[in-house]
Structure 1
Amino acid sequence: MKHFIFTVCILMISQTLSAQIKVNHIAVHVSNLEESMEFYEKILNLVEIEEPFKDGLHAWYDIGGGAALHLIEANKVPKEISKTNHLCFSIADMDSFVARLKSTNYPFEDWPGEKGKITTRPDGVRQIYIQDPDGYWLEINDDF
């Protein structure tokens, strides 16, 4: 009986801890803020939100669930860019998004790297990968 009580207490503590954390923002280091803002607004349709610094080096975007994307312009953007390290955004209408990419000739690829292709994961979620102006990889999927 003591073991059961201990297990229940551990579960209650872990549930309490996990409930006390949420994503606030994701920061992305960019080399040209204006160019990156154009990408995140025109390609991803993100909506810019209040920017607290007001110094011309930051931009903030609502990414849902109370979280934000924080773009920070600075010199020396990291050069090690891997598809494995990526941001992922889920969208409601993958077909319309892919059509928009095609209409603007914006390149996309599947996970293995085949241009213009969509990966379907074993769970049925469709995903593509695109790169922002600094070469960072973004996964776009329909797990909305």
Structure 2
Amino acid sequence: MAKAIQINHVALVVSNLEKACEFYEHELGLEPIPAFLFDYPTAFFKINEDQQLHLTEWEDVFSFRGHICLQVDDINTIFWRMKELGIIDIKPWGNVRQLPDGPIQMFVRDPSGNLIELSSSPETKIDPNIFEDELFKAGIYVSGRNDFRGYKSKDATLYHKKK
């Protein structure tokens, strides 16, 4: 059977392409790359050699919990900057947290309201002040739904690198 092998790109709908481009380029350090000659507003960004982020401007309705996760190279700096911007959103998935395998995760809203999860690698040294911040809460997110369906493990991780 054929199978998917990697994510090539993620496309996000934005309400203002210019503001979104400024956010992804200047706040998250993504590199703009040429997009096809579409007849609608769009911008492509290079995440790494294999993955891209595509932004396209439409008047669509945005998801409250749906998100993409971007691993960042300096979660400490990003945390303080996102807090300064006031765009950390704890409503859909709770506070900034440290996952059981070590990474910090937080959720922010881009200028169009798209939810973006930002995560560190498991080996990252975390600024101890983050653990004292009012936006941080220890432990994984608990919804209170008590519905335990799905594929779960105490050894779960966001990072499945080849060894």
Q: Same fold (TM over 0.5)?
A: yes
Q: Which residue of 2 aligns with 1:40?
A: 24
2:14 to 23, 30, 33: 30
Distance 2:15 2:88 in 1: 21
- Listed one character per residue, the Cα deviations across residues 9-55 of structure 1 (whole Å, up to 9, x for unaligned) are xxxxx6xx44x633221111112111111111122111101122265
SS of 1:40's equivalent? helix
SS of 2:113's equivalent? coil
Distance 2:52 2:85 in 1: 27
Structure 2 residues not aligned, in runs of 5+: 123-163
Q: Within the alignment, does 1:107 sit opposite 2:87 as a pair?
A: yes
1:61 to 41, 45, 50: 45
Q: Which residue of 2 aligns with 1:82?
A: 64
8 A Cα contact 2:98 2:105, kept in partner: yes
8 A Cα contact 2:10 2:52, kept in partner: yes
* Structure with the higher fraction of residues in strand conformation: 1
SS of 1:64's equivalent? coil
Q: How many residues are paired up?
A: 121
1:127 to 87, 93, 105: 105
Q: Which residue of 2 aligns with 1:96?
A: 77
SS of 2:7's equivalent? coil
Structure 1 residues not aligned, in runs of 5+: 1-13
Q: Give the AA of the match of 2:60.
A: V
* Runs of 4 or more consecutive aligned structure 1 residues displaced over 3 Å after TM superposition: 109-114
Distance 1:105 1:31 in 2: 19
TM-score (norm 2): 0.64
Distance 1:56 1:38 in 2: 18
TM-score (norm 1): 0.72
